[in-house]
Amino acid sequence: MTVDFSGVVPELALAVDRSADLPLGQQVQEALRTAIRAGRLRSGERLPSTRQLADQLGVSRGLVVSAYEQLFAEGYVVSAVGSGTRVADGLGVAADSTASGAVRPPVPAPVTGIDFGYGVPDLRAFPTRDWLWALGDAMRALPTADLGDGTTEGDDHLRAVLAGYHRRVRAGCAEPAGTIVVGGFRQGLTFVLGALAARGIERIGLEDPGPRDHDHIARRAGLRVSAVPIDPEGVLVDDLRASGARAVLLTPAHQCPTGAVLSPARRHELVEWAHQVDGVIVEDDYDAEFRYDRQPVGSLQGLAPDRVVALGSVSKTLAPALRVGWVFTPPRFRDGILTEKFLSCRGVPQLDQAALARLIETGRFDRHLRRVRDSYRQRRDTLVTAVDEHLAGASITGLDAGHHALLQLPPGVDEERVVAQAAAAGIAVRGLGDYRVTADDEAPRDPLPAALLIGFGNLTTRQIREGIGVLGEVVAARPS
Ligand SMILES: Cc1ncc(COP(=O)(O)O)c(C=O)c1O
């Protein structure tokens, strides 16, 4: 995307050296060529006016005019009346050289039709007016002193509000003192795992299948990874015990990606395991607010606050773009997590923290949740009906909570073929195979069933019907 800087004169960091042998005019030309070649100035971007650059460098305007003319002659820049001098089209930046073996960010699916992508809430339902109000209110009340760096823990008021929210809505027993504000779940996870490694935890069990990248995040924190199988009741605690791990990362309210809810018996087994091995359960409480058939299942943290570090964020309830999350930790991990955070960043934007506190404490957040919960329920029901109509032999599970479900393909249908042909037909969807975690031990693993993850939070009921209709045709089609 071209950056236009319309209406302002762009600044450009260039320097000339008066003691050098090279004449000043040539220095200016060369500095501009280098900036363009290196991608500091990109195609379509505007150069400063000749007067501004001359003032900045302390040289005559005529000298800069000649340098621009020279670059024009060489094809580096173009100029048009009214829009100044710009970098010419097609002048590339050196390609990004991602080291082999490095984790690449996921490539966005090349489709623009219907996107069943996992994990996106209804972005059109974002409570813009309430958020603007909360930001304005927070800004008006913000003491000037709070414009400096905040504390590493995060805004005191938000921490108290979050702990209260967790007790009230998630049946937890968080306390403000053990609450740390972070820039979303993933950032919090990085800090928590770093702190666990620093306290001597060597291995972590991850649910398999499980969310992409958590295996890599764990390794970067210095942990080894065991893949622990799950069944419809959640993680298999005997396998976790056999792995030798002393930490486990779980999505108890709605297993990601299968949607299984951790059963009461498993919850107790897990807590018992944690006590036996002096272990810790890291709870990813990511979409628990959306439970349709009954009251949300309480946070595991409420059952064993001394053994559970719970994390949450507003990425599923409001919007991922806000990047606000939290960690509720037992006292013994608190300093370690704070150290990780202190060494990585100066914190979460203060104004957003204050605004979120206002949104929650005035009831606007709850009101938003009630509204979107109803519309997610409708979408979920539409999904179930559409699957019934268009996908004979398929079954859909994980519907109790959240805004995604798992579509098990009929026997004999190849997952990769369906994903590829769906993409060609304008439907973006991911297969369960994308959620196989990589492990550091050799434990044999059963193959995963052929299944698709169906995110329905950010789609209209019409899109869900249409998309499932197309998927039905793709599934029924013969392999090409
Ligand atoms: C399993 C799981 N947990 C948590 C999150 C939220 O992460 P963050 O708060 O960093 O957006 C996601 C996001 O997609 C997720 O898939």
* pLDDT single digits (tens) 112-169: 589 999 989 999 999 999 999 999 999 999 999 889 999 999 999 999 999 999 999 9
Q: Extract the residue ranges of the chain whose pLDDT is less than 70.
A: 1-10, 92-112, 480
Phi, psi angle pair for 345, to nearest 5°: -160, 170
Structure tokens at 234: 């959640």
Both tokens assigned to 403: 């805004």
- 162, 213, 313, best to mutate for ligand 1 pocket (most atoms within 8 Å of CB): 313
Neighbours of 407 (CB within 10 A): 24
Contact 113, 69 (CB under 8 A): no
| pLDDT confidence of residue 440 | 95
Q: Which of 162, 180, 181, 186 to probe ligand 1 with, by most ligand atoms within 8 A of CB?
A: 186
- pLDDT score recorded for residue 110: 43
Per-position b or e across 131-158, b if 16+ CB within 10 A of its CB: bebbbeebeeeeeeeeeeebebbbbebb
Instruction: Single out the residue of 232, 276, 287, 281 nearest to residue 254, CA to CA.
Output: 287
pLDDT in tens, 169-218: 999 999 999 999 999 999 999 999 999 999 999 999 999 999 989 999 99
Question: Is the C-alpha dihedral spanning 244, 306, 219, 320 positive or negative?
Answer: positive
Q: Is 101 helix (H, G, I), strand (E, B) or coil?
A: coil
Query: Contact, 305 vs 273, CB < 8 A?
Result: no
Residue 79's DSSP bridge partners are 85
* Buried b or exposed e, range 381-403, using 16+ CB within 10 angstroms: ebbeebbeebbeebebebbbbbb
**What pLDDT is stored for residue 97 in this prediction?**
42
Give 283 Cα–ligand 1 centroid separation in angstroms: 12
**Rounded Cα gap, residues 406 and 118, in angstroms:** 10
In short, whether 398's Cβ falls inside 6 Å of ligand 1 is no
Q: Does ligand 1 lie within 6 Å of residue 251's CB atom?
A: yes
Which atom of ligand 1 is the closest one to the Cα of 188? 10
Q: What is the pTM of this model?
A: 0.84
Is the CB of residue 473 less than 8 Å from the CB of residue 424? no
Q: What is the 8-class DSSP label of residue 224?
A: E
Residue 293 has phi, psi (to 5 degrees) of: -90, -15
